[in-house]
Every structure is written in C-alpha cells, then in structure tokens.
Amino acid sequence: MKLLEINHLKKSFGDLDVLHDISMTVDEGEVVSIIGPSGSGKSTLLRCATMLETMDGGDLIYGGEAAVRGGSYASKSKLAELKQFYGLVFQNFNLFPHYSVLKNLIDAPIHVQKRNKAEVLKEACTLLENVGLSEKADNYPCQLSGGQQQRVAIARALAMNPKMLFFDEPTSALDPELTGEVLKILRELAEQKMTMVIVTHEIDFAKAVSDRVIFMADGYIVEQGTPKQVLDNPQNPRTQAFLTKVAR
C-alpha cells in the first residue's frame, strides 16, 4: 500500500525555485533515504510533505487521501486528520523545554488526540524503555545530552502512533559519539518495518537500512533506486561526483 504519494511538487521562495517537479512514493514498511549536497532542496521537500511549507503546485496524498491536489489544499479539518498520519523528527530536537521528558511524550496524545491518559502513560513508559531512557522520565531536556534529546524526540513522534515517520538530518546536530545511539534506534525501527523517510548525510547508514535511496541536487530528484544501484553503482555524473566527494 502506498502511504505517501507526491506528484509534480513545485516550491519557490520569491524568485528562487527550490523544488522542480518532484514526484515520489513511499510504500508501507519502506525506508527511503534522501541524500544530496546542502541546498539541494531535501529539507524543503520534507517541510512540504509535512505541511510546514506551502506547496506552489502538485499533489500530496496520504493513504489515498489528498491533502493537496493541483496545489489546492483540502479543508482544515481534513488536513488536521491527515497530519495524524505521520510524525516528524527535527535535527534540533524541538522538545518543549519547560516540560519533563514524560510530559513531552504524553501531552499531544492526550490533548490533541484526546486519548485515554492511563493508556497514553503506559505507552510512553514503554517507548522510553525502548529508547533506553526510562530513568530520565522526570528530567527536563536541558538535563540531557543531545543524543538523549533526539531519542526523546523520536519517542515523542512515536507516541502519536503515526503510520510513518519523517526525519530531517536527525544526527546533524550531534557529536559523532552521540550519532551512533540515535542511528541504533533508527535501525531498530527499520527492523520493525516502520515506514520512514530520512534526510541524511550518513551514507553508510543509508546503505545499511534503506530500501530505496533518492539523490537530490539543485531541487531535482537526479537518481533513485536501491542502495546498491544509487550508492554502489551510480549512473548520473552528479551522483558520482557527490559520492566521490563524500567518500574523501
């Protein structure tokens, strides 16, 4: 089943065209990594897909239901419904600093999704255990390392029970030794067949966990395919040049 379908997405900021005619799909259980040089439009693509930026043209379809059709957005109530479909993890964590770790996890499921508090608490405790942070439930974000904050951010996204997760450079704000602990969580999610779209500069990680890799440059999808096709045997000179540079 196609969880996400993007057709002919266009996005400009003033006179600057950032995304040109982007089309892609993501199937249930699939892990898609998006790689490419800075300024290639990767984060803007994610922000359009998660409705943080307004698309200038094209379709955005979740589970067969259109959030955007031909650049026209669905009703507010329909968009609110479709936003429950996915979770988003930012590169700089975006935790609520004045909430404890546990409150960061339970606030939206209780107040936005109107779910049973006892049930949400139980799920949140399990999620914290899964990311190795049970003992940090009462701590505040400022008392955690960057890696721990990012693991809380992943748990918070999962607390909403989304069908898929988006990650925007989830390790770019972390020291190398903290990167490993976050990538470990993503590997475990991939093994559990969580549908994920990951914008990343970690090429070895993308090779290890992805079903498909998309290479972007200058606002275009230049090449896509299996990790073996795109990372081990790239056909496009732009992809070849990027991977050579990254490997140095």
- Please provide residue 241's backbone torsions phi and psi, each rounded to the nearest 5 degrees: -65, -45
In the numeric block, which tokens belong to residue 227? 């990790």
Give the integer Cα–Cα distance in Å for 4 and 237: 29
- Cα 63 to Cα 2, 124, 163, distances in angstroms: 6, 26, 9
Per-residue confidence of the chain (248 residues) as pLDDT tens digits?
Answer: 899 999 999 999 999 999 999 999 999 999 999 999 999 999 999 999 999 999 999 999 999 999 999 999 999 999 999 999 999 998 888 899 999 999 999 999 999 999 999 999 999 999 999 999 999 999 999 999 999 999 999 999 999 999 999 999 988 888 888 888 889 999 999 999 999 999 999 899 999 999 999 999 999 999 999 999 999 999 999 999 999 998 77
* Block residue for tokens 């989830």: 170
Torsion (CA) 20, 49, 47, 23 in degrees, nearest 10? -20
Of the candidates 22, 31, 41, the one whose C-alpha atom is nearest the C-alpha of residue 3 is: 31
Q: The tokens 């404890």 sit on which residue?
A: 100
Residue type, 33: S
Rounded alpha-carbon distances, angstroms, from residue 95 to 27, 58, 110, 136: 29, 32, 17, 14
Strands 86-89 and 31-35, by their bridges, are: unpaired
Structure tokens that stand for 144 in this block = 């955690």
The per-residue DSSP string of 41-94 comes to SHHHHHHHHTTSS--SEEEEEETTEEEEETTEE--HHHHHHHHTTEEEE-TT--
